[in-house]
Amino acid sequence: MSQLTFEPVAAVAVVLGLAMLGVTRLDSSFWLYGIQTVGLGALAVWMGAQHGELTLVVVGSAVALLKGVGVPIYLARAASRINCRRDADTIIAPPLQLFLSLAALALLILVRPFNGSLPISTLPAIGLLMLGMLMMITRRLAISQIIGFLVLENGIFLYTIAQPHTMPFVVEIGALMDVLAATMLAGLLTFKISRSFEHIDVARLKELKG
């Protein structure tokens, strides 16, 4: 029974991650990220209730609330403060990003490079990690980098709930807090970069090299 819920939610999370690579409007990215995170949080809560693990329930609801609702709102405000709506000038065109990540996902599913060393239930988590990484590589804007980082972190979260009893409560909450702090810091830094350079294109930070 647990499998029947886990798989669709994990699959939807991966598809949402894919969609984030395809869109360029920041608003849409925030929305998609919010839905993905709330879904993952809810999955954790549901699995915790099934297995009778309080840890998962608490962490899941915290993730859904703080990361799923709080972070998108915070990022949306940060983006509107620096008047940035769209990450149009990506390094690789969005359709190609989409197809590349699709190819990577297909290889992951069909070839199973980690076969044996990792259980199958962690495949979607690896996929999310990969998507987050791709997003950080192919985007220029600092805000998109933050989203990529957050997607990557969602992958780690999915990995932990795919394998119950892997991490103690303190570590999970600690990781959550770290992510929140990192996001806040990154948001603030973005604001600063934008104030100092009048752009937030991380590719152009090379100019700072002495």
Partner 1 sequence: MSGVTGVSMLLSVLLYLLHIAIAPLFLVGLVRKGKGLLQRRQGPSVLQPFHDMAKLFRKDETVSGTTTWAFRWAPVIGLSTIFSAALMAPWIGLRSPIPGDFLLFVYLLALGKFSAGIGAMDTGSAFGGFATSREVAISLQTEAAMILAFAALAVHAHSSSFAAMLSPIRPSLHVTVLALLVVIALALAAVAEMSRMPVDDPTTHLELTMVHEALILEYSGPSLALMEYSTALKTLLLLGLVGQVALLVAPPQSALPAYLFSLGVILAGAVALVIAESTLVKLRWRRIPNLLSFGVTAGVLACLLVAVRG
Partner 2 sequence: MTHPLLPVICAILVALCWLAAPVTTLIAGRGANSPFWSIAVGAGAVALLCAGIAGLAGTTGLWNLPYPLWLGAARFTFRLDALAAYFLVVIAVVTVPIAFYLPAYMEHLCRKVDMRLFWISLSTLLLSMSGVVLAANVLTFLVAWELMSLSSFLLVAADHQPHANRQAALIYLGATRLGTAFLAGGFLWAHALSGSWTFQDWHFRGAAALGPGILLIIGLGVKAGMWPFDLWLPIAHPAAPSPVSALMSGVMVKVAIYMMVRLFLLQPAFNHPALGYILLGLGAISAFWGVLFALLQHDFKRLLAYHTVENVGLILIGVGGSIAAANLGLPVVATLALGAALFHVLNHALFKSLLFLGAGAVDFSSHTRDLDQLGGLGQRMPWTFALFTLGAAAICGLPPLNGFASEWMLYQGSLHLSGSRVIPLLRFSGLLMAGWIALVGALALACFTKAVGVVFQGRPRSRGAEHAKEVPGGMLVAQGLLAAGCILLGLGAPYVLRLLQSFAIIPGAGPHVLSSAWTLPIGTLAVVLALTFAAGGLWLSEASKRDRVRSYITWECGFGDLTPRMQITATSFVQPIARMFGMLFRYAVHFRIEGTNRRLFPETIVVEPRTEALLETQVYAPVVWWVDRAGSWIARMQAGSIHLYLLTMFVTLLILLLIAGRHP
Alpha carbon distance 123, 121 (integer Å): 6
| DSSP code at position 141 | B
**Contacting residue, 31, 57, 94, 100, with partner 1 by CB under 8 A:** 94
**Contacting residue, 1, 111, 170, 208, with partner 2 by CB under 8 A:** 111
Alpha carbon distance 17, 13 (integer Å): 6
Alpha carbon distance 7, 121 (integer Å): 8
Q: Which is nearer to partner 2, 1 or 110 (CB)?
A: 110
**Is the CB of residue 68 less than 8 Å from the CB of residue 83?**
no
**Is the CB of residue 44 less than 8 Å from the CB of residue 36?**
no
| Of residues 19-78, those binding partner 1 (CB under 8 A) | 19, 22-24
CA angle (16, 128, 75) in 5-degree steps: 65
Mask of contacts with partner 1, 106-145, x by CB under 8 A? Answer: x--xx-----------------------------------
Cβ of residue 81: shortest distance to partner 1, in angstroms?
A: 25
Which one-letter amino acid corresponds to residue 197? Answer: F
Among the candidate windows 43-51, 72-80, 92-100, 156-164, which touches partner 1 by CB under 8 A? 92-100
Q: How far apart are the first and last CA of the chain?
A: 58
Q: Would you tell me which residues interact with partner 1 (CB under 8 A)? A: 4, 8, 11, 15, 18-19, 22-24, 93-95, 98-99, 102, 105-106, 109-110
Q: Would you tell me which residues interact with partner 2 (CB under 8 A)? A: 92-93, 95-96, 106, 109-111
